[in-house]
Amino acid sequence: MRKTIFPSLLIILSILVITSCNNKRENISGNVNKVSENSYDSLPFYNPSLSIDERVQDLISRLTLEEKISQMMNGTPAIERLHIPPYDYWNEALHGVGRTCAATVFPQAIGLGATFDADLAFRVSTAISDEARALYNATAEKGYYKQYNGLTFWTPNINIFRDPRWGRGQETYGEDPYLTAVLGTAFVKGLQGDNPNYLKTAACAKHFAVHSGPEQVRHEFNAEVSQKDLWETYLPAFEALVNANVESVMCAYNRTNGEPCCSNNYLITDVLRNKWHFKGHVLTDCGALEDYYKQANEGGHGIVKTETEAAALALKSGVSLNCGVTYSALSNAIKEGLIGEKDIDTQLAILLKTRFKLGLFDPKGSNPYDDISFDVVNGKTNRALAKEAAQKSIVLLKNNGILPLKNDLSKYFVTGPNATSIEILLGNYYGVNSNMVTILEGVSAAISPTSQLQYRLGAMLNKPNINPINYAIGHAGSSDVTIVVLGLSSTLQGEEGDSIDSSTAGDRLDYDLPDNQIAYLKQLREAADKNPEDKKPIVAVITGGSPINLSEVQELADAILMVWYPGEEGGTAVADILFGNVSPSGRLPITFPKSLDQLPAFDDYSMKGRTYKYMNQEPMYPFGFGLSYTNFTYSNIKAASTTISKSDSVKVQVKITNSGKVKSDEVAQIYISDIEASVSVPNFQLINTKRVTLEPGESKDLEFELTPKDFEIVKEDGTRTIELGEFKIYVGGSSPMKRSFELGAPKMSEILIAIK
């Protein structure tokens, strides 16, 4: 009897065990995105009532060495035995959730910089993080854990756009450290949310530090910079974002003062960790560690000989996350005695905290962001916000009175290589959706249905027409107005591998518009002026992510709009400006020099002669400049006291009046100049700005509070101090650079304040 029953029992038990294991495997493979309830009960790292540090340490204690290493590269695999799904840290949200599902496309970052509007930046990034959570909730439910599906966004780019040749300058907020810090801080706050227990998404400050081209040599280049320039220009925005609790910092490809940024002891340890007390994780730019063991003749830094040495050096330098696969060599680094497993545990603990803060190990419904629904993604509210941002980003550079246009003229002619381009709406690091409004579409929707609208491409983006016959040109003489859309696109400027029609890796070493575009504009001008008694106007709409030599456009066109890369509602916003539904209020976040001859060499990282703060030559268009459809006047400037001590704050008031006939926003800007400094200082520097809406004839009193920090100067050793003496305060609608007022900016109000 026993011999008969016992084998049967064994068979039954075996079947039960196999069935149980298969059920578990099905649960893991089919529902790896859903953590089982038993896991919450049995594993402390799934217990939200414990502290994050306790949970992180519990999780690390359960991982093998290989599992630990696998979780320190951007594409992390699932750990099925612990019910941990895959996760990829690499995601983008520069001006909308990028490279994933359809989402709202906001204006490129340089366009947001042109708004000078921190509140708008916050609202834009809040909308982006809403969409990010909605997309994550939906894709995670389906078990999609691909690259660009996560909640860790490698944005914003807060490098200083120090030279207009840099193709990636479009990703920044411009050339000014203060403006970059203010907009970057607002953007981070919108991305990360204000919940005390959870991150909405995780933001990243990049590229740390002293990184702004050239693209062609970024993997081997050494940026040499003085302590004064470092602390006066290149680091303030990073410090501001660290103070705003940005979750991560990305180190740059290049070397800074001899050391590669991802193992730069001064930048990462002395400054980021010890001086600023940064608590988040540091990550590499993608593939940056490969540059460590590539020799100079291979286009790298050549500071180590092997991948193993590169991985060990970065880890020991405080880098927690490797975008790439170099950290797969960390196990060899342990075998070779270059690091210990405790070194891995230390950096992994910092990194894992981010995923816990995002709620990725908590039961669904634990955080308020789990319930953001998919209908916010590119919904009406966010499209309206994208349009508002584009409207506020557009800069009117010239207007001889032709703008705004009437919308019921008999004939309009829209032409130019970018009039129907989707590329010029996007810039780089973009998302997409099914409703991208081109400039032609925007104009078409804005004009009277009885008005004739002609469109011809007229010219290629950057090469001459082969056919000498061009039917487009004649329309300039027979139309009430020609709207010609010229400029650049991301095919010509951007990152090294994206700008497929650039021979210089996305940088713009030629400052001019393509020759064929200028030739076409000249042909249009000739046709428009054919009848001397009835010359027809030409409006030039310029796209691009950087300053461009527009000297000939300034002479040939009756009006010029700089529209950047304006996003999904770009065509609508441009039409709103053209036809006067909105008065232009964008301001240049970067100086437009007359030519590159006015600038130092591209690879010279000294700030001398660069940007509005240090440039002594007359620019084409000054920093902060932009015209309106009305006139503003500044008057009655006064300070609560014109003599203060080093520790005092002081309030400055000024009256601003819309002295024209059109409702409009004005961007009031306040600058300071230390006129008695003992060391070299900026000519003047932006310290605050306010956007104000004024009806025709309306006046408002604006008040700015100047703190002791505003009076600080940076000494040659990089330290800050406040010196006794006089300071000039300027308030107006542009920077005090040469040509501001000649071009039509309102005259600034000035006052002297003395520190005694």
CATH of the domain at 333: 3.20.20.300
At residue 134, the 3 state secondary structure works out as helix
Domains contained in the chain, number? 3
Q: Evaluate whether 740 touches 734 at the Cβ level (below 8 Å).
A: yes
Cβ neighbors of 595 (< 8 A, separation 6 or more) are 511, 549
Please return the burial class of 687, using the count of CB atoms within 10 Å of its CB with bins 0-12, 13-18 and 19+. Answer: middle
564-580 exposure pattern, b = at least 16 Cβ within 10 A, e = fewer:
bbbbbbbbbbbbbbbbe
Regarding whether 713 and 664 lie in a shared domain, the answer is yes
Regarding whether 388 and 362 lie in a shared domain, the answer is no
Q: Residue 747 and residue 675: Cα distance in Å, rounded?
A: 20
**Kind and range of the H or E run holding 110:** helix 109-115
Take residue 336 and report the two structure tokens written for it: 């070779």
Take residue 491 and report the two structure tokens written for it: 């095919």
In a domain, 322, yes or no: yes
Q: Which long-range contacts (CB under 8 A, 24 or more apart) does 524-530 make?
A: 524/415, 524/458, 524/473, 524/476, 524/482, 524/484, 525/476, 525/556, 527/473, 527/474, 527/475, 527/476, 527/477, 528/476, 528/477, 528/482, 530/477
Regarding whether 277 and 394 lie in a shared domain, the answer is no
Rg (CA), the chain: 28
Take residue 253 and report the two structure tokens written for it: 């490809």
Q: Residue 201 and residue 369: Cα distance in Å, rounded?
A: 10
* Cα 583 to Cα 140, 209, 266, 558, distances in angstroms: 43, 38, 47, 17
At residue 68, the 3 state secondary structure works out as helix
Look up residue 101 and give its DSSP letter. S
Q: Residue 102 and residue 97: Cα distance in Å, rounded?
A: 8
Look up residue 140 and give its DSSP letter. H
Outline where DSSP puts E strands in 26-131: 75-76, 87-88
CATH classification at residue 519? 3.40.50.1700
Look at residues 338, 372, 406 and tell me which one is the last residue of a structural domain.
Answer: 372
Question: Which residue in 130, 176, 285, 362 is the catalytic one?
Answer: 285
At residue 639, the 3 state secondary structure works out as strand
At residue 80, the 3 state secondary structure works out as helix
Q: Residue 639 and residue 533: Cα distance in Å, rounded?
A: 54
| Residue 343, φ and ψ in degrees, nearest 5 | -65, -40
Q: Residue 635 and residue 749: Cα distance in Å, rounded?
A: 6
- Largest Cα–Cα distance of the chain, in whole Å? 119
**Kind and range of the H or E run holding 342:** helix 341-357
Q: How far is CA 562 from the centre of its chain?
A: 18
Q: Which residue in the block uniquely carries the two structure tokens 């180190």?
A: 251
In a domain, 599, yes or no: no
Look at residues 590, 613, 644 and tell me which one is the last residue of a structural domain.
Answer: 590
Number of neighbouring beta carbons within 10 Å of residue 449: 7
**Pairing mode, if any, of strands 664-674 and 685-694?**
antiparallel
In a domain, 417, yes or no: yes
pLDDT at residue 40, rounded to an integer: 52
Regarding whether 176 and 49 lie in a shared domain, the answer is yes
In a domain, 420, yes or no: yes
Regarding whether 477 and 336 lie in a shared domain, the answer is no
Q: Evaluate whether 598 touches 619 at the Cβ level (below 8 Å).
A: yes
pLDDT digits (tens, 9 = 90+) for 114-142: 999 999 999 999 999 999 999 999 999 99
Q: Evaluate whether 335 touches 69 at the Cβ level (below 8 Å).
A: no
Choose among 394, 568, 618, 575: nearest CA to 487: 394
In a domain, 424, yes or no: yes
In a domain, 118, yes or no: yes
Helix and strand totals (H; E) in the chain = 22, 24
Regarding whether 651 and 582 lie in a shared domain, the answer is no
At residue 411, the 3 state secondary structure works out as strand
CATH classification at residue 725? 2.60.40.10
Q: Residue 65 and residue 341: Cα distance in Å, rounded?
A: 8
HSE on the CB side for 484, CA within 13 Å? 34
**Kind and range of the H or E run holding 292:** helix 290-293
At residue 259, the 3 state secondary structure works out as strand
At residue 75, the 3 state secondary structure works out as strand
Regarding whether 350 and 222 lie in a shared domain, the answer is yes
Sign of the CA dihedral running 719, 720, 722, 728: positive
Please return the burial class of 377, using the count of CB atoms within 10 Å of its CB with bins 0-12, 13-18 and 19+. Answer: buried
Q: Evaluate whether 530 touches 473 at the Cβ level (below 8 Å).
A: no
Low-confidence stretches of the chain (pLDDT < 50) are 1-39
Regarding whether 136 and 245 lie in a shared domain, the answer is yes
At residue 542, the 3 state secondary structure works out as strand
In a domain, 451, yes or no: yes
In a domain, 5, yes or no: no
Kindly write down the DSSP assignment for every residue of 434-475, as one continuous string.
S----HHHHHHHHS-TTSEEEEE--S-SSS--SSS--TTTTH
Regarding whether 698 and 641 lie in a shared domain, the answer is yes
At residue 330, the 3 state secondary structure works out as helix
At residue 79, the 3 state secondary structure works out as strand
Regarding whether 360 and 395 lie in a shared domain, the answer is no
Q: Evaluate whether 315 touches 330 at the Cβ level (below 8 Å).
A: yes
Take residue 645 and report the two structure tokens written for it: 């001590």
Look at residues 590, 621, 652 and tell me which one is the last residue of a structural domain.
Answer: 590
pLDDT at residue 433, rounded to an integer: 97
Number of neighbouring beta carbons within 10 Å of residue 295: 12
**Pairing mode, if any, of strands 650-658 and 632-639?**
antiparallel
Regarding whether 237 and 91 lie in a shared domain, the answer is yes
Regarding whether 534 and 637 lie in a shared domain, the answer is no
pLDDT at residue 740, rounded to an integer: 85
Look up residue 710 and give its DSSP letter. G
Q: Domain containing 540: what range?
A: 383-590
Is 285 catalytic? The answer is yes
Helix 118-141 and helix 177-192, axial crossing angle in degrees, nearest 10? 40
